[in-house]
């Protein structure tokens, strides 16, 4: 039988091709960017808005097509924020916030609202590690009596870009490079810095992402920010602008980069495990929820545009008013059903909360529901238990993929004579958009008021303590050293010059590229703003061991009494003790009792603890000195600036690890030794130790 020849399909885009000349830029002969319909695009930087500071228009088919395509690029994992950890809990207001908002869940200090929170990294896949250098997502679904309100923010108060039109670009740049499929969960590669170095508006966020904020100690210790300006509207219809904040009650701490690298290997689930275990043991994470309030009439007095998501308002200028507290007190029953299938959406608001015209927010209002249609398999994902409102829900939407309800009746519309008693709109309790006057041309244009890209980057850097500044410089040197294209590094040095001359010089020297900058001309001359000490984690670090973990290295013959006193003192501070021995089976203490331990030395490097104590017996210490894992345990704790408690028998181990005794290396057998160790551990890290141990670059 003769084989039938299948005609080959025409190449995509070949048939009816528009003449080539309309698809080449006049200036450089590059191919013209088009939509998926082949329509040439005039502006790939700005959404279509009603006036340059106005809201984005639904008519913007270029934006909608670009975002729709992006939203559906990964199935079924989230295109961003794929790796997340979640927990259930509740929110309780401190007092009525009726002066600010009519939102029901913010009225009554006796009324708890159920919540589900999810924390995430942005760039990595669902199976990636917990501690890459990255932004953390901070999402909270409030199941209020007026429907679901979703807070969908980050642990950093500003963003890389000013317009949602650029979101697919920045995410494509940071994700693994499409041809080679690496690197996973890392911004230290050429495509990310290529995009960033050509996007001056990202410089403020870059300072944050290169700071220790991007490597948090625990999800229980991250701050949360709404990033955009939102509105709160009270019962009288008065609208005020707000910036939303979450503050962890435990205080904020970070790890340092060398720890992050080692933790990623020792425990890739470091954050997820920590959140899970703390809830299991009844040590419930808590956050305060607050707002910075800006009267509409005062918005113009700020020295930047409130609609620009690359800017923050220092707390020294507008303090945060705390509205209430969230407590996470229950782990999910099933990770997939809850943490994976939960769908957050910034468009899910309740009466009393409203949006601003921030063009990044406006794009987000479209993107989330759209992406969830494919991730969660159709338009009925609001019926999945974790997404379903806890209050009654009635409407005429019917059918569709994965419809779980058996909805009765003949009428699925209104008005209706057949079924006059169906659900009907209610002008009194129904959601109303704050009536804001909008004027202006339909236009793709970035407002002039968005043009200052360096002043707040400089403000952030100059608000840091010296160790924090050094870490930013080291992070930049680390990341840029991984960029093989010299011009990208040179252009970044050009930007750093406008942020801080010392930072620029330090990074330039660390890269060995002094004097090679590619000059960058700022659109607006950077200004010197008043530093904001509240932006520094070190400045506001609480003195506490609460929620932290102390590792105690034990061996056969460890002094039982000393161990008991130490454990009691540490637990009194509401910290967790982890006993580490060579074998997981346990050890025999000085009383001859067999004691269980939680960790084997080989699997529990000291990076997993916030402070350590060395309690080997005199007989066992020599064998530890021969053991790299034990020596590294001590050396790393010292290098990571932690408090180290010890007794006389441990001195050979301190010596083998080249530890120089300082105020955080404490003999726990000395008078008040345990108390002194606890005091040193409560300080977190001994920053004064760092300059002798680590240089930049
Ligand atoms: Fe987004 C997920 C936070 C800009 C589009 N985003 C997502 C999540 C968080 C944020 C926390 C994870 C939610 C979860 O746990 O399920 N995103 C932000 C913040 C932004 C931001 C704070 C800037 C201020 N995002 C942003 C833009 C767009 C998106 C500009 C698109 C126009 N984001 C998405 C998305 C995701 C998402 C593609 C992926 C998975 C999902 O929504 O459900 O729609």
pLDDT for the residue numbered 69: 86
Q: How far is the CA of 80 from the centre of ligand 1 (A)?
A: 7
Using one digit for the tens of pLDDT, what is the confidence trace for 211-256? Answer: 999 999 999 999 999 999 999 999 999 999 999 999 999 999 999 9
Query: Active-site positions?
Result: 81, 154
Residue 26 pLDDT class (50, 70, 90 cuts): low
Q: Closest ligand 1 atom, CA of 225?
A: 22
For the domain spanning 61-383, the CATH number is: 2.40.180.10
In this predicted structure, the answer to whether residue 14 has a pLDDT above a threshold of 60 is no
For the domain spanning 452-535, the CATH number is: 1.20.1370.20
Q: Which of 65-69, 236-240, 653-657 has the lowest mean pLDDT?
A: 65-69
Using one digit for the tens of pLDDT, what is the confidence trace for 319-330? Answer: 999 999 999 999
Could you tell which of 74, 135, 152, 362 is best to mutate to test the pocket of ligand 1, judged by most ligand atoms within 8 Å of the CB?
152
> What is the distance between the alpha carbons of residues 90 and 116, in angstroms, rounded to a whole number?
8
- Domain positions in the chain are 61-383, 452-535, 549-692
Q: Is 368 annotated as a binding residue?
A: yes
Q: What average pLDDT does this structure show over 411-435? A: 92
Q: How far is the CA of 361 from the centre of ligand 1 (A)?
A: 10
pLDDT for the residue numbered 367: 97
Using one digit for the tens of pLDDT, what is the confidence trace for 551-581? Answer: 999 999 999 999 999 999 999 999 999 999 9
Expressed in angstroms, the distance from the first to the final Cα of the chain is 71
Q: What is the mean pLDDT of the chain?
A: 94
Q: What average pLDDT does this structure show over 605-621? A: 98
Q: Closest ligand 1 atom, CA of 86?
A: 15
pLDDT for the residue numbered 231: 98
The proportion of the chain whose per-residue pLDDT surpasses 70, expressed as a percent, equals 96
pLDDT for the residue numbered 370: 96
Question: Using a 6 Å cutoff on CB, does residue 367 contact ligand 1?
Answer: yes
Q: What average pLDDT does this structure show over 173-201? A: 98
Question: Using a 6 Å cutoff on CB, does residue 219 contact ligand 1?
Answer: no
Q: Is 454 annotated as a binding residue?
A: no
Q: What average pLDDT does this structure show over 474-500? A: 98
Q: How far is the CA of 161 from the centre of ligand 1 (A)?
A: 13
In this predicted structure, the answer to whether residue 21 has a pLDDT above a threshold of 90 is no
> What is the distance between the alpha carbons of residues 53 and 450, in angstroms, rounded to a whole number?
10
Q: Is 571 annotated as a binding residue?
A: no
Question: Using a 6 Å cutoff on CB, does residue 157 contact ligand 1?
Answer: no
Q: What average pLDDT does this structure show over 334-341? A: 96
Residues 6+ apart with CB under 8 A from 447: 52, 53, 305, 307
95 vs 32 pLDDT, higher one: 95
Q: Ligand 1 atom 14: the closest Cα is on which residue?
A: 344
Question: Using a 6 Å cutoff on CB, does residue 133 contact ligand 1?
Answer: no
Q: Ligand 1 atom 9: the closest Cα is on which residue?
A: 137
pLDDT for the residue numbered 550: 98
In this predicted structure, the answer to whether residue 8 has a pLDDT above a threshold of 60 is no
Which H/E stretch holds residue 139? strand 136-144
Neighbour-count burial of 295, counting CB atoms closer than 10 A to its CB (0-12 exposed, 13-18 middle, 19+ buried): exposed
Q: Ligand 1 atom 20: the closest Cα is on which residue?
A: 153
Q: What average pLDDT does this structure show over 260-268? A: 98
Q: How far is the CA of 400 from the centre of ligand 1 (A)?
A: 25
Cβ–Cβ < 8 Å for 465, 685? no
Q: How far is the CA of 371 from the centre of ligand 1 (A)?
A: 10
What's the length of the chain?
697
> What is the distance between the alpha carbons of residues 345 and 77, in angstroms, rounded to a whole number?
16
Cβ–Cβ < 8 Å for 130, 269? yes
In this predicted structure, the answer to whether residue 591 has a pLDDT above a threshold of 60 is yes
Q: Which of 294-308, 339-353, 414-428, 606-620 has the lowest mean pLDDT?
A: 414-428
In this predicted structure, the answer to whether residue 22 has a pLDDT above a threshold of 70 is no
Question: Using a 6 Å cutoff on CB, does residue 363 contact ligand 1?
Answer: yes
Q: Ligand 1 atom 7: the closest Cα is on which residue?
A: 81
> What is the distance between the alpha carbons of residues 549 and 612, in angstroms, rounded to a whole number?
9
In this predicted structure, the answer to whether residue 491 has a pLDDT above a threshold of 70 is yes
Choose which CATH entry (3.40.50.880, 3.40.50.300, 1.10.10.10, 2.170.190.11) describes domain 549-692. Answer: 3.40.50.880
Q: Is 413 annotated as a binding residue?
A: no
Q: How far is the CA of 344 from the centre of ligand 1 (A)?
A: 8
Residue 76 pLDDT class (50, 70, 90 cuts): confident
Q: Is 167 annotated as a binding residue?
A: yes
> What is the distance between the alpha carbons of residues 216 and 272, in angstroms, rounded to a whole number?
12
């Amino acid at each position: 039988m003769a084989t039938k020849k299948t005609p080959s399909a025409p190449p995509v885009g070949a048939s009816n091709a528009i003449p080539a000349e309309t698809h080449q830029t006049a200036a450089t002969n590059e191919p013209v960017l088009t939509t998926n319909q082949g329509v040439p695009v005039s502006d790939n930087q700005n959404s279509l808005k009603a006036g340059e500071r106005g809201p984005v228009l639904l008519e913007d088919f270029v934006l909608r097509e670009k975002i729709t395509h992006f939203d559906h690029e990964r199935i079924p994992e989230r295109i961003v924020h794929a790796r997340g950890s979640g927990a259930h809990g509740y929110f309780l207001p401190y007092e009525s916030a009726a002066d600010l908002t009519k939102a029901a869940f913010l009225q009554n200090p006796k009324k708890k609202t159920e919540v589900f929170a999810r924390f995430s990294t942005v760039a990595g896949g669902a199976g990636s590690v917990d501690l890459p250098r990255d932004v953390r997502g901070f999402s909270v679904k409030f199941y209020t009596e007026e429907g679901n309100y979703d807070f969908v923010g980050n642990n950093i108060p500003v963003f890389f870009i000013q317009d949602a039109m650029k979101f697919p670009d920045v995410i494509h740049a940071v994700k693994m490079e499409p041809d080679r499929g690496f690197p996973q969960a890392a911004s230290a590669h050429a495509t990310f810095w290529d995009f960033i170095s050509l996007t001056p508006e990202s410089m403020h966020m870059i300072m944050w992402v290169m700071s220790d904020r991007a490597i948090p100690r625990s999800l229980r210790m991250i701050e949360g920010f709404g990033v955009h300006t939102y509105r709160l509207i009270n019962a009288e219809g008065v609208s005020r602008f707000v910036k939303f904040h979450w503050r962890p009650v435990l205080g904020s701490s970070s790890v340092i980069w060398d720890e992050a690298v080692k933790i990623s290997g020792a425990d890739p689930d470091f954050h997820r495990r920590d959140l899970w275990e703390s809830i299991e043991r009844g040590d419930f994470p808590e956050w305060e929820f607050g707002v910075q309030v800006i009267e509409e009439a005062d918005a113009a007095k700020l020295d930047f545009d409130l609609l620009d998501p690359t800017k923050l308002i220092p707390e020294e200028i507008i303090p945060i008013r705390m509205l209430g507290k969230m407590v996470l007190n229950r782990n999910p029953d099933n990770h997939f059903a809850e943490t994976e299938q939960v769908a957050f959406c910034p468009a899910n608001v309740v009466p009393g909360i409203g949006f601003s015209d921030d063009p990044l927010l406006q794009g987000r209002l479209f993107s989330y529901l759209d992406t969830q249609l494919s991730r969660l398999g159709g338009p009925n994902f609001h019926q999945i238990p974790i997404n379903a409102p806890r209050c009654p829900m009635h409407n005429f939407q019917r059918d569709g993929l994965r419809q779980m309800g058996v909805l009765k009746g003949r009428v699925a519309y209104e008005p209706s004579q057949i079924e006059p008693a169906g659900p009907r709109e209610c002008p009194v309790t129904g959601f109303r958009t704050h009536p804001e006057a909008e004027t202006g041309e339909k236009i793709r244009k970035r407002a002039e008021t968005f043009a200052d890209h360096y002043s707040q980057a400089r403000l952030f850097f100059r608000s840091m303590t010296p160790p924090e500044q050094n870490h930013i410089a080291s992070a930049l040197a680390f990341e840029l050293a991984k960029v093989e294209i010299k011009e990208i590094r040179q252009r970044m040095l050009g930007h750093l010059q406008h942020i801080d001359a010392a930072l620029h010089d330090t990074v330039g020297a660390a890269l060995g590229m002094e004097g090679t900058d590619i000059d960058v001309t700022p659109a607006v001359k950077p200004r010197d703003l008043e530093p904001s000490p509240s932006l520094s984690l070190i400045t506001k670090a609480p003195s506490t061991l609460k929620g932290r973990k102390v590792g105690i290295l034990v061996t056969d013959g460890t002094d039982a009494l000393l161990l008991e006193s130490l454990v009691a003192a540490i637990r009194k501070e509401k910290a967790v003790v982890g006993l580490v021995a060579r074998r997981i089976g346990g050890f025999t203490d000085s009383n001859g009792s067999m004691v269980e331990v939680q960790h084997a030395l080989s699997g529990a490097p000291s990076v997993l603890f916030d402070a350590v104590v060395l309690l080997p017996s005199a007989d066992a210490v020599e064998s530890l000195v021969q053991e790299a894992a034990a020596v590294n345990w001590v050396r790393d704790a010292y290098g990571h600036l932690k408090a180290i408690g010890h007794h006389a028998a441990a001195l050979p181990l301190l010596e083998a690890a080249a530890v120089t005794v300082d105020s955080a290396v404490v003999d726990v057998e000395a008078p008040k030794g345990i108390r002194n160790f606890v005091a040193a551990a409560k300080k977190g890290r001994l920053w004064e130790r760092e300059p002798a141990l680590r240089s930049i670059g």
